[in-house]
Chain A
Amino acid sequence: MRLVPKICYVPHTDRITVLIPVDISDSYSIPAAVLKLLSSAHVVVLGYYPVPSQTAPAQIKHQHETDAERKLEAVANQLSGHAERVTDVLVFTHDRDETIDRIANTHEADAVLTPGEVGSVDNVLVPLRGGSNVENILSLVKTLLEPTDSRVTLFHSVDEDDAEGHGEDLLEEAVEHLIKGGINRSRVDVQLSTGDDTVSDILTAGGGYDVLVIGETKPSLRDRILGRVPSKVLMDTSEPVFVVRDTEGTDEEEE
């Protein structure tokens, strides 16, 4: 029980909330270049301690809680001077993905950052998959770009015969959206691809990128039965990836 007065509740504003899951059983620090991107975001640091099925989570908590709290605090301290607001959560779990989902829901996170290695952020790649989730993706991009002078590449992949030019329309609207949000047109590139293999298209797009912002995909039936497989893009990239949550669609998913 805490008897210190609670910080009063701040109503949900336009501020973007980014969840950073951190394996707290390992040592970890956030790359300096990424810290800069988060300047105007509310960051929720989720320290998760992976627990094998052989062990009761309470047992690991019993033995490692102090250590884990110390490590989590170190990560949170690293952030506190940079992000707008920092919240930390420590969870002992058998299943990292489930925990990320739950914490993302309770804190109404807009995106989940999978940290990677990066020296400096000069170009942010944003593949757009069509109409869904585009608004959320673009508001995050805006928040990330504001405090930096990084460039952004909007990317879309279409079939060979996109006669009506849907792809171009999509990209054009996205550019408009960013400009309206105060991003200089000169910082925005667009790229339309007509390849078959979307994943490799994304990975080779723009030549070099430092950070990736993608929309989340719903787990397939197979994923639900066999456990979730990290999306191919996430697996093949070593750069930091922001996965933007589809906040409009999540309600339907709840039972």
Chain B
Amino acid sequence: MAVGTQYLAEQPKLRTTSMVLGAAAIAGMLAAPFFFYPVMLMSVLCFALFACAFNLLIGYVGLLSFGHAAFFGGAAYVTAHAAKVWGLEPLTSILLGAAGAAVMGLIIGFVAIRRQGIYFAMITLALSQMFAFICLQVPFTHGEDGIQGVPRGYLLGLIDLNQPLTMYYVTLAIFLFGFFAIWRIVNSPFGNILKAIRENERRAVSLGYRVDRYKLGAFVMSAALAGLAGGTKAIVFQFATLTDVQWQMSGEVILMTLLGGIGTMIGPIVGAGLVIALQNYLAASNFPVTVLIGIIFVICVLLFRRGIVGEILELMRRKTKGVS
């Protein structure tokens, strides 16, 4: 699944090109709020980080989690509660949310990694549904209402986040931090062992790796980063609700990653951008969003399982192979 990173690592020329492209992309993101509605951009950034975190698991360990909404939405609740009820500083609140998601990841992951493949997907889905039921019942989430009116507050007590542009750049900074964290994980020795497990779990076991620990480690990191995205979203949009913990949200993040390209670094970002843009576009029309999401799922699975970025990389790889 992960043709992308290995391929780029093998091609020094392309590596330079991609660095140039990366710099251009960051420049573009810095300039974006002058051309687009910042709230939508921030939404894309939050979901893009969420999708990248999810992709860390499916793309580089081969585990399909169908319950990542629990970490995203769970962190949103923790952050919202910390900022609103405890009156904590926004960044601290976000980090608390991510920490909460990591703890949940440890618990859910500990149970789920006992099975593989299709069972892993069903188990994560069931456990996240359990979490959603709990969120519906406990007082601290305020049930159907959710936690509303979360203050954005002052970053480090100094910078007013109620300014849309400031909020955007802080969100961008968090996104870039998360993205590079994932990039570092994937390209570390730890990441290489994860890929070895994905390719052939038995061989990894026979080489003496304690596969379960690596899987659990990756699961917790993925959950924490999904939590970072969810906590940020709670500050940006100033609320946390049941929507973020439900299975539909887990489905959406799968779609974003699948559409952009499982196992590619930038695929999930592209996918998140496209899905958010489509949702915004459809919000004005009468067409049901769920149906469209379902249709995209079916088309992706049947026609381009590598996703948009994955297919482009595959085309480039075939071309260079053909030339040399």
Whether A associates with B in a native complex is: no
- A residues touching B (Cβ–Cβ < 8 Å)? none
